[in-house]
């Protein structure tokens, strides 16, 4: 396999090794050889610049893609934390509203066990009981006036609200962490969050 060098590209008769030793033709051949070498050097330089530009563009694109993924993850974390906090607050509100309307969270059952229910059914079948008892109404013990009724509803819902408070604290902490991570990310870009 022959190597492609500058010496192999030039006609030996043009360099003065042939029959014609004319200085003008030798100068023209050398000039042509020099121009080819300069053109090849310029092409190599342009290729190098293009490769460097492509590498820089590729690096910037990869960095931007990775940064975009980080930002997307932070936004998703923020949205999830806001959703969790909103959900806990809606549950607390629904809990108080249910207590306000019905006076209890769970439906009141007439019988506390299956044995009591079977005993009652047998008494009805034997004809010893003709009137069905009414289940206890928790709202009957609730005050009628509005402010007092709401206070009683909150008092009755308080044990469940205390359980939900723990979830609300966790959701608030997640929200605060997500916000601080986003703020840290913005500050890392050279922006400051205020005078220092």
- 3: which residues sit within 8 A by CB, 6+ positions away? none
d(CA 143, CA 194): 52
- Please check whether residue 78 is in contact with residue 186, taking contact to mean a CB–CB distance below 8 angstroms: no
Domain count, the chain: 1
pLDDT tens per residue, range 112-146: 778 877 887 777 777 777 766 666 666 666 777 78
The single-letter DSSP state of residue 10 is: S
Tokens 């990869």 sit on residue? 62
> Does residue 136 lie within any of the structural domains?
no
SS3 15: coil
d(CA 44, CA 60): 24
> Does residue 23 lie within any of the structural domains?
yes
Tokens standing for 123?
């008494």
pLDDT tens per residue, range 40-97: 999 999 998 888 888 777 778 888 888 888 888 888 888 888 998 888 888 888 888 8
> Does residue 115 lie within any of the structural domains?
no
- Structural domain harbouring 97: 8-103+142-188
Residue 90: what are its φ and ψ, rounded to 5°? -65, -40
């Amino acid at each position: 396999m022959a190597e492609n060098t500058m010496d192999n590209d030039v006609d030996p008769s043009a360099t003065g090794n042939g029959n014609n030793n004319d200085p003008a033709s030798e100068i023209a051949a050398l000039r042509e050889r020099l121009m080819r070498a300069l053109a090849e050097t310029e092409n190599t330089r342009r290729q190098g610049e293009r490769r460097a530009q492509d590498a820089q563009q590729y690096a910037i694109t990869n960095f931007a893609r990775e940064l975009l993924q980080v930002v997307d993850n932070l936004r998703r974390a923020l949205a999830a934390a806001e959703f969790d906090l909103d959900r806990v607050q809606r549950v607390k509100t629904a809990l108080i509203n249910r207590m306000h309307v019905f006076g209890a969270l769970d439906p009141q059952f007439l019988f506390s066990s299956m044995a009591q229910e079977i005993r009652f059914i047998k008494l009805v079948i034997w004809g010893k009981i003709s009137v069905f008892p009414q289940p206890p109404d928790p709202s009957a013990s609730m005050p009628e006036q509005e402010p007092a009724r709401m206070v009683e509803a909150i008092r009755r819902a308080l044990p469940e609200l205390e359980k939900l408070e723990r979830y609300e604290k966790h959701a608030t902490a997640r929200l605060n962490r997500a916000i601080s991570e986003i703020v840290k990310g913005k500050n890392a870009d050279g922006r400051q969050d205020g005078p220092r």
